[in-house]
Structure 1
Amino acid sequence: MDPSGGCPHRDNARLLARGAVAPVVLPGGVPAMTVLGHEALKGFLTHPDVAKGAEHFAALQDGRIPDGWPLRTFATVPGMTTADGAEHRRLRDLVGQAFTARRVERLRPRVEELTAELLDGLEAAARDGDGVADLRRHFALPLPMGVICELLGVDAGHHDHLHHLSSRIVATDSSPEEAVAANREMADALRAVVAARRAAPGDDLTSALIAAREEDGDRLAEPELIGTLLLMIVAGHETTLNLITNAVRALCAHREQLRLVLDGRAGWADVVEETLRWDSPVSHFPFRYPTRDLTVDGTVIPRGTPVLAGYSAAGRDEAAHGPDADRFDVTRAGRGRPTARHLSLGHGPHYCLGAPLARLEATTALERLFTRFPRLDLAVPEARLPRVPSFVGNSVRTLPVRLRADRAVR
């Protein structure tokens, strides 16, 4: 795997042509596998002999994974993403009630209010930038970061620092020193958040998690509290940030698809789902481990091998999505053709807890953005956009756009 990331789709297509499962080499020469085919991945994510716990990671248990390994956090952070069975259900239940469809719907007015504020800020940034502004920085990032931090009771002054640390943690090109420093700083920052909420509890998720720990010390250990907050911060904004960014890029590159939505012949929810399939915000997600030698689509994955979930590849698997799987088409689901539901938000017990919130934020953001700026377009060619330095995340680091505010619709 290329630690610097890059666009994954060409390599994915090459690997899929060979089969649904491929051997890969992770940074540091660590052997691994990635499951790329849609049906193979769907089955793998729910297989009873596949685990998330790091005790099943053979190389880690054998002492072959150093502290500064850039992917170590994905394997070892205490929390629901590295737990199985009853432990996973216990941790997931502690935060799950905050992300039900009903509770997320109650957030709609706040998401709409924040979206409107950010669009004003985006327009102001474009005026200061000769008509060009970085949509990722001024809009796609602060929307999900603002919402998740409000849910957690994190002061706005911490947002930029937490995003900086989060982006370093999900990067796969970090040096050992950078990886260790980013994780240490993030843990310190989250301990400060916990201390602030412990001193002044509020109506927020962090205060609720602290109360759960202090009412029953066995229910949530301190490392699990910090690990859960880390997961909420990282997953709560990085995925939606990439989703909004990728959707805007897709619509700018496919103006006929944008016109279908603006004319009412497709919905903004269709844009979100097609972006999740066609350009998944997460490309290859770490890790799962077979608890025995496991044969997947004819390929043996040895016990204890770290396995990546190849979401970006599965989204363009022609066996599941048809011969035009590499085509962005917001009407795909409504044209009566057999097409599989994408897996980009996961599948099975570890399905993305924040999926309803991510969908609400993305649909609101895209609808308000293109209603106000229907002629918005990229200010630089797609090929010149710098990619995020990760084969886990899938997007670009900046998104300069020209709003053409002279024709904006308010």
Structure 2
Amino acid sequence: MTLQAITAGSPYYRLDSTGSALQAEAAALRERGPATLVLLPGDVPAWAVTDQDLACRLLAGSDLSKDARRHWPAHINGEIPDTWPLRVWTDAVNALTAYGSDHTRLRRPLAQAFGPRRVSALVPDIETIIRQLLDALQTAGPEDVVDLKARFSGQLPLQVVNTLFHTPDHLRSAFSGAVGSLFATDAPPQEMAEAWRRVHDLITELIDYKRARPGDDLSTELIAARDAGDLTDQELHDSFLLVIGAGHETTVNALNHAVISLLTHPDQLALATTGQISWKQVVEESLRHQAPVASVVARFAVRDIADEITGLTFKQGDVVVMNYAAAGRDPRVHGDDADRFDVTRRSAHKHLSFGYGAHRCVGAALARIEVHIALQQLFGRFPRLRLAADRSELTPLPSFISNGHTSLPVLLGPTAP
């Protein structure tokens, strides 16, 4: 499978770079089999894996790499142009794109930072951030249309990351729009290049600031790892990028989808608000039903992989994309009603929304806690919250990677006594 193999009448399914109907596309891909040939932007051929069990088998071992510099022939041979819109996902050098011992080395400081004790210690800070955001939100009238993403769900994860890094005030708001733009898979090359330069400059400024003002925070720990020779300058920079980007986008989308699903299923919302079902269960079903990252780009076959169960063979150097949106609704795992949002679903926790295997998201526990507390406090403060637009009128993000919406208009209603 090479770039030159694409011809008229080819068997490839061209992915919609605008992300206009991610779940419909996921269903179409799933109908083509457990994995199917697709075209990424720029007519880059790849496999899209939609079967959850196949995804787990592939991710459990070492046959797939995320290091394009070592294991993607098209990248190594210079066939991928500098203007390719997804290069930010292959050129970064951090735990997300590393393989083998490099991955272990780059993941170690992040795993320590997001360990159970440190995440638990963040809970009071998270609760304070949420309370302050809700206080600010409450200044709007009960029948005023409010963008919940701009004023609540989009602010929460960013402020939590700022707490982890001890980001100075003058940089706190700058990262939000800049990082989100990196997920746009339909943006013109010039726009993507400008977005990348902006993020690069902001991270460089943050590193310089924290190097001069160390503290008890993740920034200082990563910088110390660089100074000890455990990270290169680029690895330090791109580790910041990973925490800021992944920590923001995933949690924003997860929280927004949970709110939308609950508001469009009031009977299930009532199960949570009356304590008949736990908010943790709500979070898991929402993650399954709407994976916040629809597709993860990209992995590369280190060697030929013959899957005995499906009969599929992935050739050495093939690009492999995990479609978590499709896997989350795999009927073989979640039943014939897998497309239905159901907070009582017993298999809800069996999803891959935070990945699987060596590259499972180190921040998964933190994201879960953020969404859990945010939902509980949001509906506790505004029990009559409702959408200000029909669900079908919400605008999807222009991305086949990030599964979310550009805004979330709501009416808060009266606050709770």
* CA offsets 1:305-334 (integer angstroms, 9 cap, x no match): 22111101000000111111111111112x
Q: What SS is found at the alignment partner of 2:371? A: helix
- Is 2:119 aligned against 1:104? yes
Q: What SS is found at the alignment partner of 1:307? A: strand
1:295 is displaced (CA, Å) by 3.2
2: CA distance, partners of 1:130 / 1:371: 18
Conservation of the 8 A alpha-carbon contact between 1:320 and 1:340: no
What is the aligned-residue RMSD (CA, Å)? Answer: 1.4
Conservation of the 8 A alpha-carbon contact between 2:50 and 2:327: yes
- Is 2:136 aligned against 1:121? yes
Conservation of the 8 A alpha-carbon contact between 1:283 and 1:312: yes
- Is 2:409 aligned against 1:409? no
**CA gap 1:158/1:340 in 2 versus in 1, 3 angstroms:** closer
Partner of 2:47: 33
Partner of 1:188: 201
- Amino acid aligned to 1:252: L
In proportion to residue count, which structure has more helix? 1
1: CA distance, partners of 2:28 / 2:358: 30
Conservation of the 8 A alpha-carbon contact between 1:69 and 1:179: no
2: CA distance, partners of 1:298 / 1:320: 20
1:395 is displaced (CA, Å) by 1.0
1:179 is displaced (CA, Å) by 1.5
**CA gap 1:339/1:322 in 2 versus in 1, 3 angstroms:** farther
Partner of 1:239: 250
1:87 is displaced (CA, Å) by 1.0
1: CA distance, partners of 2:18 / 2:324: 18
1:201 is displaced (CA, Å) by 1.0
User: 1:19 pairs with 16, 28, 33, which one?
Assistant: 33
Unpaired segments of 5 or more residues in structure 1?
none
User: 1:371 pairs with 380, 388, 392, which one?
Assistant: 380
Partner of 1:9: 23
1:13 is displaced (CA, Å) by 1.4
- Is 2:85 aligned against 1:70? yes
Q: What SS is found at the alignment partner of 2:96? A: helix
* CA offsets 1:219-247 (integer angstroms, 9 cap, x no match): 11100000000001001111000000000
2: CA distance, partners of 1:103 / 1:149: 15
1: CA distance, partners of 2:215 / 2:303: 46
Conservation of the 8 A alpha-carbon contact between 2:143 and 2:412: no
Conservation of the 8 A alpha-carbon contact between 2:284 and 2:349: no
1:115 is displaced (CA, Å) by 0.4
What TM-score comes out, normalization by structure 1 length?
0.95
1:188 is displaced (CA, Å) by 1.2
Which shows bigger deviation, 61-70 or 313-322?
A: 61-70
- Is 2:237 aligned against 1:226? yes
Partner of 2:329: 316
2: CA distance, partners of 1:7 / 1:145: 27
1: CA distance, partners of 2:55 / 2:217: 35
* CA offsets 1:289-316 (integer angstroms, 9 cap, x no match): 1112323422332221221111010000
User: 1:388 pairs with 394, 397, 413, which one?
Assistant: 397
2: CA distance, partners of 1:339 / 1:196: 43
Conservation of the 8 A alpha-carbon contact between 1:146 and 1:156: no
User: 1:43 pairs with 57, 71, 87, which one?
Assistant: 57
**CA gap 1:12/1:49 in 2 versus in 1, 3 angstroms:** same
- Is 2:278 aligned against 1:267? yes
Unpaired segments of 5 or more residues in structure 2?
1-14
2: CA distance, partners of 1:12 / 1:251: 22
The list of structure 1 runs, each at least 4 consecutive aligned residues, that deviate by more than 6 angstroms after superposition, is none
Percent identity (aligned): 41
1:157 is displaced (CA, Å) by 3.0
1: CA distance, partners of 2:348 / 2:343: 13
Partner of 2:191: 178
